[in-house]
Amino acid sequence: MASTADPVETPAHAPEAGLRADAERNRDRIVAAARRLFATEGLGVSMASVAREAGVGKATLSRRFTTRDDLVNAVFADRMDAYAGAVQTALNDPDPWHGFTGYLHDVCAMQAADRGFADVLTMTFPAAKALEARRTEAYNGFLELITRAKGTGHLRDDFTSQDLVILLMANAGVINATGDAAPDTWRRLVVHMTRSYATPTAPVPLLPDVPAPAALYRAMIRLTRARSDNP
């Protein structure tokens, strides 16, 4: 007589499910490890260092992420979402000039919070399609923000979207140079640059306090040592 009991999963299915779970855990460990290393050391970290930090072999890392661009895309997808979201927030501001200056500060703050992201914003990753799509979306929104800010009469007519790229490069340099020695130095740079973009009648943000001489000296020593270690 045929049995009417519910069918049960055969043991043959268990190894396959276990392999899938292991693969997912390894992927999560790799992404978490890369996020930690990129945030503190920038994108110059080797793939071998990421594998060691994650506690996996290089072959395992290569299976999960064929290229560095794949890994960068996985690590920074949420940050690029926030980057694109910052443009939309600025566009929603009823005062376009305030939205513009707020956007500059917010994006530079994102860089300061994560050295890896500071690098991402000044580099391109052609193979990371999703990341580059969000960058393009943010760029198009910024073009609209520029137009609106100029319409207020507060943004100089000669400001272009390339000036944002220059600002991000300069900010990334300051962040990487000062590190923990003078971590708020970027704020003064951003306000100085914002003031340079403003017309004479525009309201401008107040300059933050200048970093203490001792803090800047520590930053200079830190930068000198970094260059000595990487000739």
State the Cα–Cα distance between residues 92 and 86, nearest whole angstrom: 10
What pLDDT does 1 receive?
45
Q: Return phi, psi of residue 181, to 5°.
A: -70, -40
Every domain range in the chain assigned CATH 1.10.10: 15-66
| Rounded Cα gap, residues 141 and 154, in angstroms | 19
Mind listing the pLDDT tens digit for each residue in 135-180? 899 999 999 999 999 999 999 999 999 999 999 999 989 998 898 8
Q: Which residues make up the CATH 1.10.357 domain(s) of the chain?
A: 76-229
Q: What is the mean pLDDT of residues 201-220?
A: 93
Quote the pLDDT of residue 16: 55
On the 0-12 / 13-18 / 19+ scale of CB atoms within 10 A, 7 is: exposed
Q: What is the pLDDT of residue 19?
A: 55
Distance CA 133, CA 210 (A): 38
Tell the CATH topology of 15-66: Arc Repressor Mutant, subunit A (1.10.10)
Q: The tokens of 211 are what?
A: 């970093």
Give the pTM.
0.78
- Fold classification of 76-229 is Tetracycline Repressor; domain 2 (1.10.357)
Q: Tell me which residue of 23, 26, 25, 53 sits closest to 38, measured CA to CA.
A: 53
CA-to-CA distance for 57 and 179, rounded, in angstroms? 30
Residue 7 pLDDT more than 50? no
